[in-house]
Structure 1
Amino acid sequence: MNFSELFKLSSQLCKFSPDGKYLASCVQYRLVVRDASSLQILQLYTCVDQIQHVEWSADSLFLLCAMYKRGLVQVWSLEQPEWHCSIDEGSAGLVASRWSPDGRHILNTTEFHLRMTVWSLCTKSVSYIKYPKACQQGPPLSPAGVSFSQDGRYLALAERRDCKDYVSIFVCSDWQLLRHFDTGTQDLAGIEWAPNGCVLAVWDTCLEYKVLLYSLDGRLLAAYCAYEWSLGVKAAAWSPSSQFLAVGSYDGKVRVLNHVTWKVLAELGHPAAVGDSRVVVYKEAEKSPRGSLGRPACPPPRATESRYEVAEVPVSLQTLKPAADRANPKIGIGALAFSADSCFLATRNDNVPNAVWVWDVRKLRLFVVLEQLGPVRAFQWDPQQPRLAICTGGSKVYLWSPAGCVSVQVPGEGDFQVLSLCWHSNGDSLALLGKDHFCLCFLETEDGGGSTLGPLGSLT
């Protein structure tokens, strides 16, 4: 396992290209494109203002940079660095911008979600879609009310008109409306296509527990409600195989629905105490600094070293008492993700903030719990194999696989804190993102004779 030097970064804007050849990062108004392997700078572009969003086109030939404060999008070409395109939404403003799957159209959402504008880079034509809904769930500046099918053929868009929720399905080749239907939701919070593009999941506001499954032609296939009290759905995720839909709820449980009957296969609880002897609980523990005669080492380490220890069950996990008088209480399943092979599901219960739960989907039972010293900020699966990367806002990165887990200190000067992370598409490297810097962590494969995870989380 090797680490690159630290590079400057703004707003954690750092993304690998879909083909894996390049790495784009933003430093205020500058866009830097590097070779993903050597990290040599290939192109340097200058935008008119600070970049707030960056995104690769699907073919890795173009880069979109959005400056929401100015209502402006600039597009850059890797093949023709002298070419660029500017899209100005003017007085309509701009709150979100993204590529269409063909990499030749840009979808801009105006302020107050008055409309969505589809700009063509090829014909310079413009299309307008009215009433896009501002959904509650989804990453910042990327509305959860927009979902493209994985094959790029269809766009599902949540709409709000006449105080009612609708979904419109468009054909991406010509942006013609294919289906339009009323969802019957109280306040639609998110939509997501299954990876196979056959089913669209729609879920309601957290105040109304409702998950709806629609076919491509707009038929309601199933409706699911786990309970009718208090807060409802907090997160949802499809398995890559499209066989399972995992629904995370405010009651601290994940319901796994199957794709045949849309009934619940399992309810996965997240209690504060783990008593199942079949479950391995890894606890992060601080290492004592090396020294002599009880004196601390000199000079002191830049950051406290740690390692994982296997705890004996039953194990009590650290819990957080949520503030009942505040919005968005720290309770329930706030994050969940399937591994690339659909064999594992990772979850985080927000009122047990230091723990990551890993479930065996094949046996529908808890497999591993990882308890960190600090609250878990982000986790993400390797795109190629069941290997999970975790960060907690400290100077370490954590990796788990069925073979074991490891805590790794990120080297470098200063106090570099890992706030987020993203995998390279081939799983050989990992971008670690901090507040003002980023670095790459290179993980060699077993075939290359590099670092692999040993059974107790040691580097071998």
Structure 2
Amino acid sequence: MNFSDVLKQSNQLCQFSPNGKYLGTCLQYRLVVRDASTLQILHLYTCLDQVVYMEWSSDSNFVLCAMYKRGLVQVWSLEQPEWHCKIDEGSIGLVASRWSPDGRHILNTTDFHLRITVWSLCTKAVSYIKYPKACHKGMDFSRDGCYMALAERRDCKDCVSVFVCEDWYLLRHFETETQDLAGVQWSPNGCVLAVWDSCLEYKVLLYSLDGRLLSSFCAYEWSLGIKSVTWSPSNQFLAIGSYDQKVRILNHITWKRITEFEHAATISGPKAVVYKEVERRPVNRELSLDSITMDSTLFSTQSKYEICPSPVQIPVVKPDPERANPKIGISTMAFSSDSRYLATKDDSMASAVWVWDMQKLNLLAVLQQTSAVCSFQWDPRHPRLALCTGTSKLYLWSPAGCVSVQVPTEGGFQVQSLSWHSSGESLILLGKDQLCLCYMESDQEDQ
């Protein structure tokens, strides 16, 4: 694999365009659009203030830049660089902005979630949606872009409204059997909507497109419940991560639990392979003042993976019971593109990533890092998992094994998050205020 030079960015605003041709980065109040393969600057746009959110349109022809404090959104065109658009929400404020699936409408959420304003770039028409609920995952679009599900709060009751994205017609509106709705998510085929309650009550509800309740799932009561929910790309599984350090898998036919994955601190058994990161310093050698100055990687810590014999003890950090949002439970889950594998992370064992085999429904591998895992993401084309831990290393797992790669950059570049190109041939590595591209070998599927 190869690495690009380090580029500057701010607020970790860096995205590949959906068509994979461009790389958009924000630096303070500037938007820089580069060629994704050569990193040559194609367009340079100047915004009215520092950008805090950026998003490509679905067809890669427009870029949205939001400045929440000023209540402004600016839209830039790649096909017609002289064209631009400014949306000013005024005194009502702005807390969120995003594209609709057609790439021609912008949805702005105002302060205090008073309403959502839908702006049309084609007709300049404006629509308003009232009563959006202030929850982290309260809006979701179906994969085909036809429908939008929105969590609402009316008369002290949780509701869901389903809109047709073509003309924002209200298709269905129904109350949900939740105490404090926390999120909604469409299944990949757009036929089922998953709705779940806050962490204070364990409840997952599955609704059809016309608002019929298909199934309800509750694993336990009187304890902190759901922390994360995700669908498999194949539509076969719904994974529910809980505060009790378990992942429960529901099937798409009966919506019953088919298994549960427990994240135990002690891993035993012959089936799971535990890869432990081991750090070591380079071999000492005679140094001169010139060599110290020129060799930037001289004192960098190298690492590699070792396979640990069973049983293995994973370090556990006990949460503080006096603080909100305890660091325990399954906060992050991700299915591989072929739905064969599921990667999970338990916050009380933040230095470990668990990989589960969804065909055999058992634990396949555990990656035990020396530092807490910041981010992990699957290759969109191959069963290959990339992760970072806030250090100068990139880690890759595949069924063939694990590898630790030192990012050859100067100045102590630390990888805090990452993102794959749609082709799986490159990765964006993001630091605090820098970025670097990693190019994978095209003739190898697994590193």
Aligned amino acid, residue 124 of structure 1: K
Partner of 1:458: none
2:173 to 161, 167, 180: 180
Per the alignment, in what secondary structure is the counterpart of residue 417 of structure 1?
Answer: coil
C-alpha displacement of 1:412: 1.2
Question: Which string of whole-angstrom CA distances, capped at 9 and with x for unpartnered residues, describes residues 396-428 of structure 1?
Answer: 110101111110111111011111100000000
C-alpha displacement of 1:452: 4.5
C-alpha contact (below 8 Å) 1:164/1:184 kept by paired residues: no
User: After superposition, where does 1:345-424 map in structure 2 within 5 Å?
Assistant: 345-424=342-421
Partner of 1:125: 125
**Aligned-partner Cα distance in 2 for 1:287–1:302:** 11
Aligned amino acid, residue 414 of structure 2: Q
Partner of 1:263: 256
**Aligned-partner Cα distance in 2 for 1:216–1:151:** 14
Per the alignment, in what secondary structure is the counterpart of residue 150 of structure 1?
Answer: coil
**Aligned-partner Cα distance in 2 for 1:104–1:301:** 51
Question: Which string of whole-angstrom CA distances, capped at 9 and with x for unpartnered residues, describes residues 3-43 of structure 1?
Answer: 00000010000000000000000000000000000000000
Per the alignment, in what secondary structure is the counterpart of residue 189 of structure 1?
Answer: strand
**Aligned-partner Cα distance in 1 for 2:299–2:111:** 45
C-alpha contact (below 8 Å) 2:343/2:354 kept by paired residues: yes
User: After superposition, where does 1:63-74 map in structure 2 within 5 Å?
Assistant: 63-74=63-74
1:31 correspondence with 2:24: no
C-alpha contact (below 8 Å) 2:384/2:446 kept by paired residues: no
Partner of 2:134: 134
Question: Which string of whole-angstrom CA distances, capped at 9 and with x for unpartnered residues, describes residues 262-310 of structure 1?
Answer: 00011100000100111110000012321259xxx96673421100111
**Aligned-partner Cα distance in 1 for 2:177–2:189:** 25
C-alpha contact (below 8 Å) 1:71/1:90 kept by paired residues: yes
Partner of 1:289: 282
Partner of 2:41: 41
Partner of 2:18: 18
Aligned amino acid, residue 205 of structure 1: S
**Aligned-partner Cα distance in 2 for 1:307–1:436:** 27
Question: Which string of whole-angstrom CA distances, capped at 9 and with x for unpartnered residues, describes residues 294-333 of structure 1?
Answer: xxx9667342110011111110011101111000000000
C-alpha displacement of 1:229: 2.1
Per the alignment, in what secondary structure is the counterpart of residue 189 of structure 2?
Answer: coil
1:94 correspondence with 2:76: no
Aligned amino acid, residue 241 of structure 1: S
**Aligned-partner Cα distance in 2 for 1:439–1:176:** 43
Q: Which consecutive segments of 4 or more residues in structure 1 shift more than 2 A?
A: 297-303, 450-453
Instruction: Give the TM-score normalised by structure 2.
Output: 0.97
C-alpha contact (below 8 Å) 1:203/1:210 kept by paired residues: yes
Partner of 1:107: 107
Question: Which string of whole-angstrom CA distances, capped at 9 and with x for unpartnered residues, describes residues 16-75 of structure 1?
Answer: 000000000000000000000000000000000000100000000000000000000000
C-alpha contact (below 8 Å) 2:327/2:348 kept by paired residues: yes
Aligned amino acid, residue 278 of structure 1: K
Per the alignment, in what secondary structure is the counterpart of residue 329 of structure 1?
Answer: coil
RMSD of the alignment, in Å? 1.2
1:427 correspondence with 2:420: no
Aligned amino acid, residue 257 of structure 1: L
Aligned amino acid, residue 149 of structure 1: S
**Aligned-partner Cα distance in 1 for 2:398–2:35:** 28
1:248 correspondence with 2:238: no
**Aligned-partner Cα distance in 2 for 1:252–1:232:** 10
Partner of 1:333: 330
**Aligned-partner Cα distance in 2 for 1:288–1:157:** 52
Per the alignment, in what secondary structure is the counterpart of residue 213 of structure 1?
Answer: strand
Aligned amino acid, residue 220 of structure 1: L
**Aligned-partner Cα distance in 1 for 2:298–2:244:** 41
Q: Taking structure 1 as reference, are residues 286 and 30 closer, same or farther at Cα in structure 2, changes over 3 Å only?
A: same
2:232 to 235, 239, 251: 239
C-alpha contact (below 8 Å) 1:399/1:406 kept by paired residues: yes
**Aligned-partner Cα distance in 2 for 1:184–1:404:** 45
**Aligned-partner Cα distance in 1 for 2:441–2:324:** 44
**Aligned-partner Cα distance in 1 for 2:69–2:282:** 48
**Aligned-partner Cα distance in 2 for 1:335–1:249:** 10
C-alpha displacement of 1:444: 1.5
**Aligned-partner Cα distance in 1 for 2:273–2:323:** 35
Partner of 2:52: 52
C-alpha displacement of 1:451: 8.3
Per the alignment, in what secondary structure is the counterpart of residue 181 of structure 2?
Answer: coil
**Aligned-partner Cα distance in 2 for 1:373–1:451:** 26
C-alpha contact (below 8 Å) 2:281/2:299 kept by paired residues: no
Q: Percent identity?
A: 68
1:323 correspondence with 2:317: no
1:164 to 157, 173, 180: 157
Per the alignment, in what secondary structure is the counterpart of residue 206 of structure 1?
Answer: coil
C-alpha contact (below 8 Å) 2:398/2:446 kept by paired residues: no
Per the alignment, in what secondary structure is the counterpart of residue 351 of structure 1?
Answer: helix
Partner of 1:76: 76
1:304 to 298, 301, 304: 301
1:8 correspondence with 2:5: no
Per the alignment, in what secondary structure is the counterpart of residue 91 of structure 1?
Answer: helix
**Aligned-partner Cα distance in 1 for 2:73–2:421:** 26
C-alpha contact (below 8 Å) 1:302/1:415 kept by paired residues: no
Partner of 1:153: 146
